[in-house]
């Protein structure tokens, strides 16, 4: 018997990385999943994003837990597409209880780029990492309220949402600004939705062993300035945490064990925030 038996979760960025891990963990706890992913690249982002094949594999992994994943290709920057995918999923599965606004990108300026490229990085990362979570919550809130059972919205922020990080270029500054903004969404939505017993919280990971943190571009970005690597080091003797570590926090915040946890940001960061 799982902590989430009979519940339905909506997860963005579900095809791989943290999103896939969250889907498997929540399914293991008894939840069915509605999931979306862009399954296409964004040209200002220097590493490849998820593919249709990866999304299909996530469906199989959730089904291996004897649960369902209704997967749709949709871009979190497109509110109408997010809403349509979620509405269709709720119509089929009959309810919505949990939201994991997980999708994100991390473009970092590499070497000399022109002003136009810098502005495009800023725009794209804000649209994915801040507009996307807002659109996700906006699409979900009517379903959560209509269900009359309360619910849990879990935003993915970052240690970069709690500390200054990544420099002044459009990609790095945009990432940090977006992740700070996500915590602002947590605070305001938690107050607004508490009367409906809808709890709003965030997780704030340090670097997680996914494509976002292990691609060639981020390695080059650190090589260009070795102080960046020192700044990103964790006090605990681990270079990165695993997606499953973040999924454990998401599963907790989604469950009744966290029924009185609201408006909080939970660092899963190997001590990163505490060191500075």
In the sheet with 8-12, reading across from the earlier edge strand, the strands are: 69-73, 32-37, 8-12, 98-101, 151-156, 198-205, 265-268
Can you spell out the DSSP letters for 237-274?
Answer: S-S-B-HHHHHHHHHHHHSGGGTT--S-EEEESTTTGG
Contacts of 244 by beta carbon, 8 Å cutoff, 6+ apart = 21, 25
Residue 175 known to be catalytic: yes
Residue among 10, 155, 165, 175 flagged as catalytic: 175
Residues 62, 23 contacting (CB under 8 angstroms):
yes
Extended beta strands in the chain, E state: 8-12, 32-37, 69-73, 98-101, 151-156, 198-205, 265-268
User: Helix or strand or coil: residue 112?
Assistant: coil
- Which residues are tagged catalytic? 175
């Amino acid at each position: 018997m799982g902590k989430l038996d009979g519940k339905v979760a909506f997860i963005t960025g579900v095809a791989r990385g943290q999103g896939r891990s969250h889907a498997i963990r929540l399914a293991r706890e008894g939840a069915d999943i509605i999931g979306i992913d862009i399954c296409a690249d964004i040209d200002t982002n220097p590493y490849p994003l998820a593919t249709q094949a990866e999304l299909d594999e996530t469906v199989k992994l959730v089904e291996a837990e004897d649960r369902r994943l209704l997967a749709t290709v949709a871009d979190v920057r497109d509110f109408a597409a997010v809403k349509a995918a979620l509405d269709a999923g709720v119509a089929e599965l009959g309810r919505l209880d949990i939201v994991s606004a997980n999708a994100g990108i991390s473009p970092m300026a590499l070497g000399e780029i022109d002003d136009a490229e810098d502005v495009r990085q800023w725009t794209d990362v804000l649209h994915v990492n801040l507009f996307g979570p807002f659109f996700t919550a906006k699409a979900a809130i009517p379903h959560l309220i209509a269900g009359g059972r309360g619910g849990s919205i879990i935003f993915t922020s970052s240690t970069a949402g709690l500390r200054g990080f990544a420099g002044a270029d459009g990609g790095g500054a945009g990432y940090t600004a977006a992740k700070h903004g996500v915590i602002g969404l947590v605070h305001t939505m938690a107050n607004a939705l508490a009367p409906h017993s809808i709890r709003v919280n965030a997780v704030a990971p340090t670097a997680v062993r996914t494509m976002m943190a292990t691609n060639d571009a981020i390695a080059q970005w650190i090589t260009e300035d070795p102080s960046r690597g020192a700044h990103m080091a964790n006090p605990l003797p681990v270079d990165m945490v695993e997606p499953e570590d973040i999924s454990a926090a998401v599963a907790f915040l989604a469950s009744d064990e966290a029924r009185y946890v609201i408006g909080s940001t939970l660092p899963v960061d190997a001590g990163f925030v505490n060191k500075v």
